[in-house]
Amino acid sequence: MKKILAVALALVMMLAVCVPAFAFGEDISTNGGQSQTQLQTLTTDEEGNPVAGFTVSIPAAVEIPWGGTSTGDFLNWSYTSKLETGKQLSISVDKTSGNLTNGTDNLPYTLTGDAVGTAFLTGEEVTEGTVSKQIAIAVTGWGDVPVDAYSDTVTFTVDVVDIV
């Protein structure tokens, strides 16, 4: 009898020591108590689409007057980004120089600026508005070729990479 009472007492004491873990989302009884609700954002919008995004805007064409512009000729581009934590944009141009051609003659040109030669890393997940950039285009040999429309294509490539 004493043993039974001792075991029962031990059980009761053990139960008293157990600290109840408040469960999430459980109804709170009419006698009081606590329950918890966790607030959590998704990385998708209400339609299930990924929210992280970016836009890099480049001109379809850059027209350079014959002889160039006194203050320089530029390819103006810009970007905005709202990326996931730890991510940034990597933007690069496929050449540092080339030849504008009309199929017969050439006008050499060089490019200088961010994204030329070395990929440009934005360094942040979220931009403060639109960030504007310029690439200078220097054309030479204007006096050596017939007057005509000479052209070349420059390709931009954008990747999302880790911020190191």
Under the binding rule (CB under 8 A), the answer on residue 121 touching another protein is: no
Under the binding rule (CB under 8 A), the answer on residue 59 touching another protein is: yes
Q: How many CA atoms lie within 13 A of 125 on its CB side?
A: 9
Q: How far apart are CA 99 and CA 113, in angstroms?
A: 18
Please identify which residue in 19, 32, 153, 162 interacts with another protein, judged by CB under 8 A: 153
The answer to whether 56 touches 78, Cβ cutoff 8 Å, is yes
Amino acid, res. 142: W
Under the binding rule (CB under 8 A), the answer on residue 42 touching another protein is: no
Binding residues with another protein: total (CB under 8 A): 47
Under the binding rule (CB under 8 A), the answer on residue 129 touching another protein is: no
The least distance separating another protein from the CB of residue 94, rounded to whole angstroms, comes to: 8
Please identify which residue in 9, 28, 35, 66 interacts with another protein, judged by CB under 8 A: 66
Among 152, 150, 154, 64, which residue's Cα sits nearest to residue 102?
Answer: 150
Q: How far apart are CA 119 and CA 157, in angstroms?
A: 9
Q: Contact region for another protein (CB under 8 A) — 20-28, 38-46, 122-130, 144-152?
A: 144-152
Q: Contact region for another protein (CB under 8 A) — 8-16, 36-44, 120-128, 135-143?
A: 135-143
Among 89, 63, 86, which residue's Cα sits nearest to residue 74?
Answer: 63
The answer to whether 89 touches 81, Cβ cutoff 8 Å, is yes
User: What DSSP designation does 144 have?
Assistant: G
Please identify which residue in 7, 9, 50, 132 interacts with another protein, judged by CB under 8 A: 50
Under the binding rule (CB under 8 A), the answer on residue 70 touching another protein is: yes
Name the residues that contact another protein, by CB under 8 A: 50, 52-70, 75, 100, 102, 104-105, 107, 109, 137, 139, 143-160
